[in-house]
Chains A and B, each alone.
Chain A
Amino acid sequence: MSQLIFNSNLCTGCRACELACSFVSEGVCGPSQSRVRVVKIDEEGIDVPVGCTHCEDAPCITICPVKAINRHNETEAVLIDHDVCIGCKECLTACPFGAIQYDEIKKIVYKCDLCGGDPECVKWCYTGAIQFPDKISRMVQKKQRQTAIKIAKTGQSSRKLIHR
C-alpha cells in the first residue's frame, strides 16, 4: 500500500485537510480533533503540514510496552488498538512529529489510521501538499522529470530554482 507524503512547499495553509479529517473521524469541524495539522508561520508566509508518516521503523510501535500499536496487514497503516492500550502515552512522547495526540475528554491517545486505506485529507488537498501515491518511487520520478524540465527551460542552476 502507501503512505501519506507531506510537502510544505506545496501547502497553502488552507487547512481543509484538518477539517476533512476531523469531520470523517469525529463528525465535527475542528482542527484540534484532526489527525493531521498545518503549522502556520505567518510572519514568514510559510505553511507546513505535519502528520503521521506511518514510519517503516515506527518509534511508537517499538516503545509501546503492551504492543497496542501494530502495522495493519493490508493497508500497512500503523494503528493503535484501544482495547489493549493502557494510556501510558509513551508513544506520544516517542513520535518525532507529534503525530500522536491525546483526547482529554475520551482519555485516549489517537492518531491517523489512513481512513482505512482511503485517506480523506488527500481528497481535499488541491495542490498535492499531502499525497497518497500508489507508488512512492513513481512520485519521485515525476518530480525528477518536472525539475529537469525547469532546469532545461531556464538554464538556471537547480539549486537556485528550488530555493527561490
Chain B
Amino acid sequence: MPDEKLGGYAGQILRVDMTTRKITKQPLNHEICEQYIGGRGHDAKIIFDEVPPKADPLGPENVLCISTGPITGLLGPTSGRVNAAALSPLTGIYGNSNAGTHWGPELKYAGYDGIIIKGKSKKPFYLYIEDEKVELRDASHLWGKGIFDTVQQLKEECDEEICVAAIGPAAENGVLYGSIIFDYWDATGRTGMGTVMASKGLKAIAVRGTGALKVADTKNYLRIAREGWEAVLNDAGFQTGEHSSLGTAICVNWGNAQGWLPTRNFQESHFENASDISGEAFRDKFSTKETPFPGGRACPSCPNRCKRFGKIESGPYAGTRGNIEFEGIGAFGSKCGINDLEAVFHAFMLTNDYGMDCIAAGNMIATFMELNKHKLLPKNILNGLDLSFGNKEAMIEAVHRIANRTGKLGELGGLGAAKATKKISPEATKYTSSIKGMDTIACDPRVAKGFGFTYAVSSRGSDHLRAHPVFEMIGMPKEIGKELFGSAESTELTKYGGKVNMVLWHENLAAVTDSMGSCRFMHASYYAQYPIPELLYKYGAKRSPDKHRGGKTKNKIPSIKYHEWLSAATGIKYTYEDLLKAGERILMLERAINLRRGVRKKDDTLPLRFFEEPVPKGPAKGEVFDKKIFDRMLKQYYKTRGWDSRQGLIKKSKLKTLGMTDVADKLTKERLTV
C-alpha cells in the first residue's frame, strides 16, 4: 500500500548531507517497513544499500542512521527506543546501538521517523528540528563542550523544551568509542556512533515536536496496549519491585551471587566487595527519588522506571550526578577492582559527559591494569601513574587522559582494548575480552553459557543485548525450556543444552523490538510476552526459589502480543511467526554487512581465556566454556540461520525463502553467498 499512510510511523525521513549541507525530506519507504519494520531493521537496510562495502567508517561515505520505530512515541508497554547505526570506527564492522530516551518520541512528534546523515563537514554544525522547520546551525561555540554544557547552552539559545542528542569531547578527540548521548543521560553508547557523528562535523541534534501520531486500528488499539501494559504489571519479576527500585544495578549483587560478575579484567568472576558498589548501596547513598516502591525515572510509556538518578552532595566527587547503570558499575567497579561507589559513579559520569562508552573505557583501563601487573605495558605509557587494580584515583585520571588523548596512555586508550593491545604486542592481545573488536560486558561467558554463545555470534561484536537470554538465569520451569528450546538445560545457567535455540529465538525477538522501538526488558528480563505467560499458566509449575520468579500462575495472566500491537499500530498484518521472520531478515542484513567487512567463521568465537582458564574461585569456580561444545553449537547456529559451515557465508536459498531477493542478488555478485 504505497500511497496509504501507515499508522504508528510519522511517515517521513530526514536526509542530511554534511558535505553540501543539503537537507531533504523523504517519504518513509513502505517496502522497507513491511520487511524490516523500522528502527534497527530500517537502518540495516539503509547501511546495506547505501554504504560502499569498503567505506572508511570515519570518511564521508559512511552513513549514520538515527531511527525510531513505529511504536516509538505511542502508548503501550514501553515505546521509548531509538536506534543508531553506521559502520563502526571501533570494530570496522557493523555498528549499532540503542537508547531509551524521550528524544525518540519527540522526533516522531516533530514528524520524522529517522535521520540519515552522509558526507562530512570540517566546520561543526548542529541540526535544529522544530516540526517542519529543519536547519543546520553553526556549532563552533559548542565544539569542545561536554554533554551537560552543550545541552544547557542549546536549551538557552533555542527553547527550554527541546530534546538534545549530542556528542562530547571524546568523540571530537577521535576516541573510537564515542557515544551519542540523548537528554543528558541516555546513551547509544557502544560501537562508536558518536565518533561517526563527530567525524561528520555534527555536534548535536535538537528536536522540538508538537505533532501527534495516529494508529491504524483506533478501535482496538487501547485494549491491546492495555493488555500488554497489564502483562508487565502482572509479571512475577516486575512485582518484586527490585528491578524498578534498583535499576539494572540489581545485577551487581545478584550476578555476583550467581558467580558471573567479571572481576579484575575477567581474571575472576566473583568480586569480594560487590555489595559496596551494588544497586542497594547506590539507592541507600545517593538516589534522589523515592516512590512507593522506591523507583527512579522512566523511559517513555514504561512502568519499569529503571533509570536511577543520583547526586553526590559532598566529598571529593561532589557535584557528580546522573543515571547509574549496571554496565558502568561493572566497568569501573569490579572489572577494575574498585570498591568505592563514589569513585565508580564519578568515573561513569565522566564518561557520560565526555561522551564515550563506559564499557569500552572501563575495559580498556582494566586491560591496562592487568598488563601493568604483568609488566607488559610499553615504558613511557604511564608517566608515573600507578594504574593498578584497586587504585581509584589512577582509574579516574586514566579516564581523563583517554577522553583528552593525553600522552601515550590517552593515545592508545582511545583506540579501545582490541586495537590498543595489537599496537602493544601479540602477548598483550591475550588480555582483552574483545570479540570482533568489541569488549565484553559485565557477565562472564564461562559461567552464563547462553550469554557466552551470544557474545560470539552477535552482529556487532561481543554483545549480550543482541539476545539478552536472561531466561537461563531466573529459574524458569524446566517444562518451558523443554517446550520452547528442546532441552530443560536451557533453564540452567552453566549448562549448554538448548542454548543455541534459546539464543536464536531471543535474537529474532530482540531484532523485532529494537526495530519497533520498544524495550528489550519486557521480553528478556521480565518475560511478559507471548507465549511465556501462556506457558507459565499451562504448566502451573512452581519456579525456583530465585527471588525474581516465584509462585504458580493459577490464573491466566495477560501477555504482550507484539504481533497484535504492531498490527494495530501500523495496519500491517503480522502473525507471531511473521514477526520472528522479520527478525531473521534483520539479522541476515547485519550478517551481510559484516561479511562485506571481512567477518568469517573464525571471528565467531570467544577469547582464549574463556576457553582455557577456568574460573578460579567463587560460586562458579571451575567453569569454563568447552571449546568442543562451542564448535558444535556454532554448527547448529549456522545451520538454522542458513549460513554455510565452512566460512559462515550466507546461503542464497535461505535469503530467497525470507523474501530477500534483492539482497541475494547483490551479495552473490560480491561472492558472499553459497
Contact = CB atoms under 8 A, between A and B. Distances in A.
B212 A14 contact: no
A19 B297 contact: no
Interface residues of A, number: 33
B290 interface: yes
Contacts of A44: 288
A22 B212 contact: yes
Given A29-B75, A43-B184, A126-B303, A12 B296 contact: yes
B74 A9 contact: no
A45 B212 contact: no
A126 B235 CA distance: 14
A9 B300 CA distance: 18
A29 B290 contact: no
A14 B303 contact: yes
Interface stretch (B214-222, B500-508, B638-646, B666-674): B214-222
B657 interface: no
A149 to B, nearest CB: 13
Interface string B267-309: 0000000000000000000001111110111111111010001
A16 B289 CA distance: 19
B449 interface: no
A33 interface: yes
Contacts of A9: 289-291
B155 to A, nearest CB: 9
Interface centre among B102, B293, B323 (most CB of A within 10 A): B102
A30 B302 contact: no
B228 to A, nearest CB: 12
A79 interface: no
B210 interface: yes
B295 A127 contact: yes
Nearest to B232: A126
Contacts of A26: 212
A19 B148 CA distance: 28
Interface string B92-107: 0000000000100000
A16 B288 CA distance: 22
A98 interface: no
A45 B184 CA distance: 10
Contact of B213 (A29, A40, A164): A29
Nearest to B185: A42
A41 B210 CA distance: 19
B154 to A, nearest CB: 13
Given A24-B222, A127-B292, A12 B298 contact: yes
Given A45-B309, A127-B291, A19 B74 contact: yes
Contacts of A128: 292
Contact of B297 (A12, A30, A33, A164): A12
B301 A14 contact: yes
B73 interface: yes
A29 B73 contact: yes
A103 B183 CA distance: 28
Contacts of B13: none
A10 interface: yes
Contact of B298 (A13, A24, A42): A13
Interface in A68-117: none
Contacts of B311: 45
Given A12-B291, A43-B152, A47-B297, A27 B218 contact: yes
B126 interface: no
Contacts of A124: 75, 229
A54 interface: no
B468 interface: no
A23 interface: yes
Contacts of B394: none
B210 A32 contact: yes
B299 A14 contact: yes
B203 interface: no
A27 B75 CA distance: 11
Given A27-B218, A28-B213, A33-B212, A45 B292 contact: no
B565 interface: no
B625 interface: no
Interface in A28-68: 28-33, 40, 42-47
Contacts of B151: 43
A127 B291 CA distance: 7
Nearest to A31: B109
Given A27-B218, A43-B148, A45-B288, A13 B297 contact: yes
B301 A19 contact: yes
A15 B311 CA distance: 23
Contacts of A31: 109
B81 interface: no
B571 to A, nearest CB: 15
Nearest to A129: B291
A126 B232 CA distance: 11
B70 to A, nearest CB: 11
Interface string A128-141: 11000000000000
Interface string B311-331: 100000000010100000000
A32 B211 CA distance: 7
B233 interface: yes
Nearest to B182: A42
A4 interface: no
B80 to A, nearest CB: 8
Contacts of B323: 45
Nearest to B299: A14
A14 B323 CA distance: 15
B148 to A, nearest CB: 7
A45 B305 CA distance: 12
A15 B300 contact: yes
B152 A45 contact: no
Contacts of B183: 42
A33 B213 CA distance: 11
A154 to B, nearest CB: 12
Given A23-B222, A42-B185, A126-B303, A16 B75 contact: yes
Given A12-B297, A14-B298, A20-B75, A30 B212 contact: yes
A12 B151 CA distance: 21
A74 B152 CA distance: 47
A12 B295 contact: yes
20 contacts: A9-B289, A9-B291, A12-B305, A13-B102, A13-B298, A14-B303, A14-B305, A15-B300, A16-B229, A16-B302, A16-B303, A19-B75, A28-B212, A29-B73, A29-B215, A30-B210, A30-B212, A31-B109, A32-B109, A127-B305
Interface of B: 73-75, 102, 109, 148, 151-152, 183-185, 209-215, 218, 221-222, 229, 233, 288-293, 295-303, 305, 309-311, 321, 323
Which 5 A/B pairs are nearest by Cβ-Cβ distance? Answer: A30-B212, A45-B309, A14-B298, A19-B75, A28-B212
Given A14-B298, A19-B75, 13 more contacts: A12-B298, A13-B297, A14-B305, A15-B300, A16-B303, A19-B301, A23-B221, A29-B215, A30-B212, A32-B211, A44-B288, A45-B323, A47-B297
